[in-house]
Structure 1
Amino acid sequence: MNKGSSSYFVAADGIECGPGHDVSIGSLGKNGDTAAVEFIDVRNVRFTNTMNGARIKTWEGGQGYARSISFFNIEFDNVDHTVLIDQFYRDRSVQVRAAVAISNVTYSNLRVRGTSSRATAVAFDCSGGGCTDIHVNSMVITGPGGRRTVARCRNAPVAVSGQVYPEIPCRC
């Protein structure tokens, strides 16, 4: 068994982030490692001028799981990639499609004042069957000056409730 990383019952509350990178759950599964990440609660966070926002990142070839993760009451101001799940992070020499399984992820109350610096505000990029039980509730993310944003999905069935913009194209 490969070495791994484990984190349980982690809470991040009341953070002002930026300028800089993000709050990432990852990098999970690098070098085929096994991840065990569970019960992560990120809430009351404001991202300003950051590269990413609410992000989950796993390496291709990784094993294990990341589950029961919530992002609640999040504000974005000029963030490049506001909401992101990436199961395809990889070393260019690796050609494996398996990844750490991601499940039971909730995004709730991502505020109306949210702005993305790029047109793609939400990206759920999952390997076949690698993401399950993703929920988006009450999210509005526009571009600067209220410009239009989009969401994209790959292999990510998403349950949507409340006002959600941009529209999530991979609803279950």
Structure 2
Amino acid sequence: MSSNPGFRSFLLLSFLLLLSIVAEVQARGKIFNVVAYGARGDGRTNNTKAFCNAWYHACQSTKPNMVFIPFGIFLVGPIVLSGPCKGPINFFLHGDLVAPTDQASSSIDHWISFQYIDRLTINGGGTFDGQGASAWPNNTCRTLPISVRLDFVTNSEIHHVTSLNSKNFHFNIYACKNIIIHNIHIVAPGDSPNTDGIHLAESNDIQILNSVIGTGDDCISIGPGSKNINVSSIQCGPGHGISIGSLGFTPNEDNVYGVHVTNCSMTNTMNGVRIKTWAKPYRSTVSHITFDHINLNSVANPIIIDQQYCPSKRCKPGASGVKITKVKFSNIQGTAATQMAVTLNCSASNPCQKIEMRDINIGYYGVGGAASSCCSNAYGACYGQQHPPSCLR
């Protein structure tokens, strides 16, 4: 065991927290230990059936029950843990879950999926290990599993867990409402493909707080239909930054409204804060967006709106039908890894309107001169310090 006093204190606090939570559940409900259903934490036994059985029995009780995964390494999945449940349910991951690596399992769109549940809690200090290195070479050939999916989940919380080396996205939040995600750790190499940390779509009233995310794609990506999203105190890097989008790829996408990203830091990321849309005619709106108090450390594209998004570079030229309006970039400071610190490349048919730049201070210290900005079809106003000089019309 480490001789570090802080580490010993953390272990003690974690143990005391575990005891208090277990005691509370015992007083109010029941603990369903997966080991009692035949699970073995040896890293080899397939425990999918045991997990399903433990979940089923916990889900049938009206009390706030716990599915308990003790210390150990549990091979499980792909698995769907579905509701509705009769009462609140706590998926308490104290040990580590590892994903299968066979080709059949890697062809399914999920590893662990929670569906149609109200008052779900996922916590416990353990790890979801997606074993992504086994599948990343095949990323261009097929869709790979998302590590943890939440579909149609409400009034729920995820905290104090780690997601390691997902094959695809780490967490996918779809059609959910009133979800709080905080104090989580997401880890994958900077060159791992498509390993977004947290992806949202068609969800509202979502909070993502006080977490550390380092991955190979967007630390957080906010997709169509996202409304009232609060992102705060996120440490991002490596990765592609915090992005709204990509949007406008298909017809009839829902609007994005009310996204607030505050007090976040980006270190050695491809992008800082970004809005990205495809150059397609499909119409939707992005509005009431705030990026505030963002710290940058060697970020390639610190502030970027890209309405010609095309990662494959094989897209047909065109103008995006997505309307971007009422976006605030304020108190953004730090260093850029490239000279172009601010890029606002908006749609020719749907120019960006009511863009606000306030107190921007981004330095570049490489060859070619000071940091610069570039705008196309972008209209708005600037206030306070502007470094590089604003290019808004």
Aligned in 2, Cα 1:59/1:32: closer, same or farther, shift over 3 Å?
A: farther
Q: Hey, what does 2:370 align to over in structure 1?
A: 148
1:33 CA drift (Å): 4.8
Correspondence list, 1:7-46, <5 A: 7-46=226-265
1:57 CA drift (Å): 0.3
Q: Hey, what does 1:92 align to over in structure 2?
A: 314
**1:133 has 2:376 as partner:** no
Give unpaired runs (5+ residues) of structure 2: 1-222
Q: Hey, what does 2:344 align to over in structure 1?
A: 124
Contact 1:42 1:71 in 2 (8 A): yes
Q: Select which of 372, 387, 390 maps to 1:165.
A: 387
Q: Hey, what does 2:25 align to over in structure 1?
A: none
Contact 2:276 2:307 in 1 (8 A): yes
Further displaced range: 10-19 or 87-96: 87-96
- Taking the aligned partners of 1:53 and 1:139, their CA distance within structure 2 comes to 13
1:88 CA drift (Å): 1.1
Aligned in 2, Cα 1:117/1:30: closer, same or farther, shift over 3 Å?
A: same
Q: Deviations over 1:72-93 (max 9, x none)?
A: 0000000000000011114634
Q: Deviations over 1:9-28 (max 9, x none)?
A: 00000000001211000001
Q: Which has the higher contact order (CA 8 A, sep 6+)?
A: 1
Per the alignment, in what secondary structure is the counterpart of residue 24 of structure 1?
strand
Give unpaired runs (5+ residues) of structure 1: none
Percent identical:
36
The aligned length equals 166
Query: Greater CA radius of gyration, 1 or 2?
Result: 2
**1:53 has 2:272 as partner:** yes
- Taking the aligned partners of 2:254 and 2:351, their CA distance within structure 1 comes to 14
Q: Hey, what does 2:30 align to over in structure 1?
A: none
Over the aligned positions, Cα root-mean-square deviation in angstroms equals 1.9
When normalised by structure 1's length, the TM-score is 0.89
Contact 2:224 2:245 in 1 (8 A): no
**1:69 has 2:289 as partner:** yes
Contact 1:78 1:144 in 2 (8 A): no
Further displaced range: 23-32 or 10-19: 23-32
Aligned in 2, Cα 1:156/1:17: closer, same or farther, shift over 3 Å?
A: same
Displaced runs of 4+ in structure 1, greater than 3 A?
none
Contact 1:28 1:35 in 2 (8 A): no
Contact 2:271 2:301 in 1 (8 A): yes
Q: Hey, what does 1:79 align to over in structure 2?
A: 299
Contact 1:100 1:130 in 2 (8 A): no
Aligned in 2, Cα 1:6/1:121: closer, same or farther, shift over 3 Å?
A: same
When normalised by structure 2's length, the TM-score is 0.40
Contact 1:23 1:53 in 2 (8 A): yes
